[in-house]
A and B are shown apart, each in its own frame.
Chain A
Amino acid sequence: MEIPGELRLVATHEWVRINDDGTITVGITEHAQEQLGDLVFVETPEIDMECKAEQPVAVVESVKAASDLYAPVAGNIIDTNADLADSPELINDSPYENGWIFKMQPDDVSDVENLMDPDDYSAMVEAGD
């Protein structure tokens, strides 16, 4: 699956989309969901939680393993995907759209621009993480 060109990515396999209102949406990549296998639980973060970049904020648990999710940049959690409680498989089926996990108000939206672009991320994955 092609990574949408507008996304920015981090080495821990989260993707970030900058929304029109300056907030950001975060999920996990196609590669990450494929490595995990079928998702069975998602523990989304508390709303209003303040977090630093690279702080663990959520857990995705698959048939294979539990895996932490990290805040890609510093900011506040403002929303989480309520559909994941009953349908964690949205992450497998639609990692870049319906399977989004949480939204943040970043402290500084320019932090997002410093993350990897899809080509850099794909090169990292091909090199074997």
Chain B
Amino acid sequence: MSKQTPFYQSHHDAGAKIVDFHGWQLPIHYGSQIEEHHSVRNAAGLFDVSHMCVVDIVGNDAQPWLQMLLTNDVGKLQPFQALYSCMCNEQGGVIDDLIVYKVSDIRFRLVVNAGTREKDLAWMKQHRSGDIDINVPNNLCMLAVQGPDAPNKTAVALDSMGQNIDVHALTRFSAVEQSDWFVGRTGYTGEDGFELIFPAELAPIFFNALLDAGVKPCGLGARDTLRLEAGMCLYGQDLDEDHSPVQSGIGWAVDVRDANRQFIGRDVLYEQKATGTEVHQVALVLNQRGVMRAGQEVQATGNRVGVVTSGGFSPSLQKSIALARVNKPLKSGCDVIIRDKPCAANVVKLPFTQYQ
């Protein structure tokens, strides 16, 4: 039996089509996935992300412990700054990708993926050392508000809740904590916006306050096309334990500047950063009609060189776009095998949104 988030009734009332997603009942769309996509690019949309898991790391050793656990270096964070990072195994394979917020030297907040929650917590507990507690807070919910109008509309909605949080004052990748609300200027769409963590009992009221402010509810379908256009990886497709961040296009999330920092996967990742890897991620745009989808084979001059890890139709480009994992340098183009037919695709730089 899959779980419901505190927004379940709100989704239902807003006309959502509900699907099972990693054991959670979540909206795939509320009528039109493409309209929802455009509303985030042009105005503002909201996403229920309560299925994602909040993990609070508290204790005197919180900072050095996370510097050991994560590939990116939390040592460079000021209080209330956020960082994207991977958590890797000893071979450099990605256990999960996550956002970490520093609250203070002794308190950090992680947001990890729903589908990896149990293995993430098991990994953290297995590597627990020193004075730290690993807490998963209950009774919270999480909402993302994304799009160029997100700041104004979020401010209006918060005001109507009696929450005087100054969201305009937040810079990108910074956060604020006020009473029971935790608000970060982060997201997974390539647009400006916020991710808000707050008490679950306020979920339906705040959802309605955002709708009243003119924010459009958006489902998992639009979330996927928005993040793909922005060139952001999805765990389980573009990232997995068999491939490193360097091989998956996010070597920038491995910080090697502090040579004394001993983190899990360090030796493999140091070498890959220094020498590069054969296996790497490419971004593809299809030159013809059709849609590239995860699992399709990528060929160069008739030979298999890799596989599409995420693909779809880009509403902004009106073309199919994809991320692929290949093991040969692809100068300019390749073929993707769609329904048994080779279809020519160009290799481009991310994000896709620059080609609109």
Q: Contact string, B264-296, partner A, CB cutoff 8 A, digits 1/0?
A: 000000000000000000000000011101000
Contact with A along B338-354 (1 / 0, CB 8 A): 11000000000000000
Question: Which single residue of chain B is at the shortest CB-CB distance from A34?
Answer: B17
Is the Cβ of B291 less than 8 Å from the Cβ of A92? no
- Pair B312/A63 contact, Cβ less than 8 Å: yes
Say yes or no: B291 contacts A40, CB within 8 Å: yes
Residues of A in contact (CB 8 Å), total 13
Which residues of the other chain, B, contact A41 by a CB distance below 8 angstroms?
289-291, 313
Q: Given A37-B221, A38-B33, A92-B32, decide whether A66 and B291 contact each other with a Cβ distance below 8 A.
A: yes
Q: List 12 A-B contacts (CB under 8 A).
A: A37-B29, A41-B290, A41-B313, A59-B339, A61-B290, A63-B34, A63-B221, A63-B225, A63-B313, A66-B291, A66-B293, A66-B339
How extensive is the interface on chain B, given as a class?
10 to 19
Distance A38 CA – B37 CA, assembled complex (angstroms): 12
Indicate if A43 sits at the interface (CB-CB under 8 A): yes
For A61, the closest partner residue in chain B by CB is: B291
> Could you say which residues of chain B place their CB within 8 Å of the CB of A89?
34
Q: A61-B313, A63-B312, A66-B293 are known; give 4 further A-B pairs, CB within 8 A.
A: A37-B28, A37-B29, A40-B313, A63-B34
Chain B residues in the interface with A (C-beta under 8 A):
28-29, 32-34, 221, 225, 289-291, 293, 312-313, 338-339
Interface residues of A in 46-61 (CB under 8 A from B): 59, 61
Interface centre among A41, A59, A63, A66 (most CB of B within 10 A): A63
Cα-based distance from A61 to B311 in the complex (angstroms): 13
Residues of B close to A37: CB separation below 8 A: 28-29, 33, 221
Question: What CA separation (Å) do A65 and B339 show in the bound complex?
Answer: 11
**Are A63 and B33 interface neighbours, CB within 8 A?**
yes
CA distance A41 to B339 in the complex (A): 14
CA distance A61 to B290 in the complex (A): 7
Evaluate contact between B32 and A38: CB separation under 8 angstroms: yes
- Measured between beta carbons, the chain A residues less than 8 angstroms from B225 are 63
Residues of B within 8 A of A65 (CB): 293
